[in-house]
Amino acid sequence: MKKAVVHRVFPDSDAEAAGISAGDIILEINGHVPEDELDFRFYGCEDTVLLTVLKKDGTEECIEFIEPESPDLGIQFESALFGNAKRCSNNCIFCFIDQLPKGMRETLYFKDDDARLSFLTGNYITLTNVRDEEIEKVVKMRLEPINISVHATNPDLRIKMLKNRFAGDALRHIETIYDGGLHMNGQIVLVPGYNDGQELDRTIKDLSAYSPYMTSVSVVPVGITKYRDGLPHLDGFTKESALKVLSQVEAWQEKLKKEIGTRFIYAADEFYLLAEKEIPSAENYEGYAQIENGVGLLRSLEDEFMEALEMYPKAIERHVSIITGKAAFPLLQKLAARSMEKFPTLSIDVHAIRNDFFGEKITVAGLITGGDIAAQLQGKDLGEAAFIPSAMLRSGTDVFLDDMTVPQLSEKLGTPIFSTACDGFDLWDKLRGISEI
């Protein structure tokens, strides 16, 4: 079992005053052996906190804190989990990780399905790896919202899609979370011929019964790469089938808005792009509950960008480029055109990158590799700088999926490359020349 190793102690904190330092190990907190940072914070929410600490010199020390300033005591751990994350036990027919080519970095092939990571990082979990006592811990500690990959509420269909004989029974955990009064978000990866049509109707109806604690459910199209040798044949969505899904979702939104006061079910932006249909207004997303899941992201980006653009009064003389995937290209081209219309001395080129690495069916910007960008933009005049969405990079790093780094790409293209947050204000700031970090 990995231990609760102290990575950093913040200045002027309770832990610093008690002499705790990096490299020390927390053995117990108020008599409990912490399995993760959640345990540490939960059992530390007392007026008196007693720590058993293994010091770097091998000695054990008991330290008492009276009315500490914060539950974390000013301690940052090497990892939020003091053991390994739970590995997914499913073999989902649509799993994207199974569609990765060989030879990529090892961490990309790890499938986690850990309830703690759902709370800590927003990951979606299938509940197939969760024991009853773990769900009880989630409820006891009020770890909400919990993000759940549902896909289907038909138990037999769920077993078939997840290729896990426990996948149908695992749905009972939703009932436990609901009874505990914890909020949840759901996700449906929609696969033509499997969980669409009447099965989608059933899933939406069943999940809406858990409102208000099931606060939102997203419908996301299956992603299909060119690396599916040995995997079941799956069809992607066409314009016609995407329109059908949107019609179905919008009918449910209208119905549920009347019945439970919320639209509840939302289609990912990719469906609107496939259907060549305008993305709904901000009002339709009711606070963007699943924006990080690609639901309403482009609407938010456009609205924020236009707001920032209209507020900016100064002239701009600059030539820059935006690099994106084919899916977002029309919107970013529209934003660039509007910017250049307002500021004639501003030149913005938008480049749509074809996904040769995963296959042309993958059109989202977040799955574009540095190698594809380099190959397709080599020798082009990108201007003073070029901008990519941060979704192209591994979280908190400057590394693309193919392990190329942003500095390496900048060197290959002979142009400074900067990442932008997935919001319109930051994009406009970067385009006009500030906050290039």
Give counts: helices (H), strands (E), the chain.
14, 14
Q: Specify the pLDDT at position 108.
A: 62
Architecture in CATH for domain 4-77:
Roll (2.30)
Closest CA to 277 of 265, 289, 268, 288: 268
299: Cβ–Cβ under 8 A, 6 or more apart, which residues? 269, 279, 280, 281, 282, 285
Mean pLDDT of 293-312: 94
CA separation for the pair 270, 219 (Å, rounded) = 10
CA separation for the pair 354, 8 (Å, rounded) = 43
> Residue 224 has which token pair?
């299909």
In terms of average pLDDT, the best of 95-99, 240-244, 360-364 is 240-244
3-state secondary structure (DSSP) of residue 343: coil
> What are the extents of the domains in the chain?
4-77, 97-294, 300-432
Q: Specify the pLDDT at position 342.
A: 93
Please provide residue 188's backbone torsions phi and psi, each rounded to the nearest 5 degrees: -125, 110
Q: Specify the pLDDT at position 110.
A: 60
pLDDT band at 316 (very low <50, low <70, confident <90, very high): confident
Please provide residue 365's backbone torsions phi and psi, each rounded to the nearest 5 degrees: -65, -30
CA separation for the pair 410, 250 (Å, rounded) = 43
* Mean pLDDT score of the chain: 90
**Is there a shared CATH topology between the 4-77 domain and the 97-294 domain?**
no
Alpha-carbon radius of gyration of the chain: 24
CA separation for the pair 135, 393 (Å, rounded) = 32
3-state secondary structure (DSSP) of residue 25: strand
Higher pLDDT pick, 83 / 337? 337
CA separation for the pair 426, 29 (Å, rounded) = 42
| Residue 139: exposure state from Cβ atoms within 10 A (0-12, 13-18, ≥19) | middle
Whole-model pTM: value is: 0.82
HSE-up of residue 398 (Cα within 13 Å, Cβ side): 11
Q: Specify the pLDDT at position 106.
A: 66
> How many angstroms separate the Cα of 351 from the Cα of each of 40, 159, 197?
47, 42, 36
In terms of average pLDDT, the best of 33-37, 163-167, 247-251 is 247-251
CA separation for the pair 277, 191 (Å, rounded) = 20
Distance spanning both ends of the chain, measured CA to CA: 38
Structural contact between residues 310 and 343, judged by C-beta atoms closer than 8 angstroms: no
Mean pLDDT of 363-372: 93
> Where would I find the beta strands (DSSP E) of 132-236?
146-149, 184-190, 214-221
CA separation for the pair 221, 235 (Å, rounded) = 11
In this predicted structure, the answer to whether residue 89 has a pLDDT above a threshold of 90 is no
In terms of average pLDDT, the best of 20-29, 101-110, 129-138 is 20-29
C-alpha 322, offset from chain centre: 22
Question: Any idea what the Cα angle at residue 428 is, between residues 376 and 373, rounded to 5°?
Answer: 10
pLDDT band at 437 (very low <50, low <70, confident <90, very high): very low
Pairing of strands 4-9, 75-77: antiparallel
Q: Indicate the CATH number for domain 97-294.
A: 3.80.30.10
- Under DSSP, the state recorded for 223 is P
11-28 pLDDT tens trace = 999 999 999 999 999 999
